[in-house]
Chain A
Amino acid sequence: MMVNHDVTDRMENIPDEKFTIIGIDKDAEAPTRPRVGYWRDAWRRLKENKVAFAALIILLILVFFIIFGPAISGYEFEQIDADAINKGPSAEHWFGTDDLGRDLFARVWQAGRVSIIIGILGAVIASVVGSIYGGIAAYFGGAVDDIMMRIVEVLLSIPYLIIVILISVITDSKSLGTMLVALTLTGWCGIARLVRGQMLQLKSQEYVLAANALGVAPIKIILKHMIPNTIGMIIVAITFDIPGYIFSEAFLSYVGLGIQPPSTSWGALASAAQQNFMFYPYQLMFPALMIALTMLSFTLLGDGLRDALDPKLRK
């Protein structure tokens, strides 16, 4: 007892000036490295993936030429030159000329505009429609989900090209807009399924349950948890879909149901060149090379993006 008394006595005897506020070192707890967000992290991983990064560079080069190529060539893509018909690649005409003496360098890049626009717009439209559809189905669930998914099943069991051909016959217009409608009409179904599956999976995750239990508003859960966790998957799906649309457009133009002269696309160029292929193989070579290069780059980039954007694959 005495000892205790002693201690308190001594405590009371400590003068006030012995107590100084030394403050809190606020920086002690701060991370020494900069905060790495989802996108920056994904970008870092994409840069490390040499194949995907090379594909990205190739795509950027292609896009550069598609934008500036026709101007660089110094020729109009429709300009007919009777003195330079079916000339092979040379200093004046880098990719040669076609059977009307039109400069193929200008034409290939002009055609690339149509092909790339169809590829990107087609994939983006299909993904947006598909994501909204799939999201609604997953959100409401039950009977709504059942009916919505049955519709998708029916649409998916109609052969894709048949629909595309049918639409272009029915509308009897071969403009870029009609092509997009025809190509995306059932193109969104696959993405709708993907998004629905992902959303359903997310709905049963513990952190969403926790958010629900804490009373977070549904709209906030959707914005904070559902969408950020699906967006990576949608981006990957878009990347993989672009070559598909480019290919479908090339195919349609090739059989004469696609883009019509005077405008042109890679498929239309290939189709025109195929008739002269035995004599002027270079005319097919360039558009075919561009189609192959674009499809290859998007496929490889898609592979890389999938690894970069999916945190579950993180090691």
Chain B
Amino acid sequence: MLQEILISGFGGQGVLSMGKILAYSGIMEDKEVSWMPAYGPEQRGGTANVTVIISDQPISSPIVSQFDVAIVLNQPSLDKFEDKVKPGGILIYDGYGIHQPPTRKDIDVYKIDAMDESMKMSNTKVFNMIVLGGLLKVSPMVKLENVMKGLKKSLPERYHNTLPLNEQAILRGMEIIQLERKAE
């Protein structure tokens, strides 16, 4: 198993921490993982992205040119990364920030209205966990119980009271993700 995942959005959307939780979840399943962020000034408001790799084998390059899954959470991210999804791969986008939806026909395109949903849950901080739930639904690369273990490990103890809320958000994400177009 080798999954090369890109997560990209605005700085502050929880892109990097979502990647970290995914990587921790991989460790909980005894997998090899790498987490490579774009560490530029993007962290402070522009676009932020992270490459997470989960594998049964030692990971060679933490930098890859094409991805099995791309999660894009704003228009600049979609514009930049739509072409970088491997043919037959998966693209997940949040409807909120995207005005020009993806056009590729050779990949599975999923839409998740995570921003709207997080507002309904009155907590925009769980936005990234809703997206993570959507990812796990369409590409179950790690088990939910291990995600929860990973979440516990990556969250400082003072936030452990938010674990149930996070789990709820992940489950909600699994429900609301929609297949928009199957690869032809």
Are both chains from one complex? no
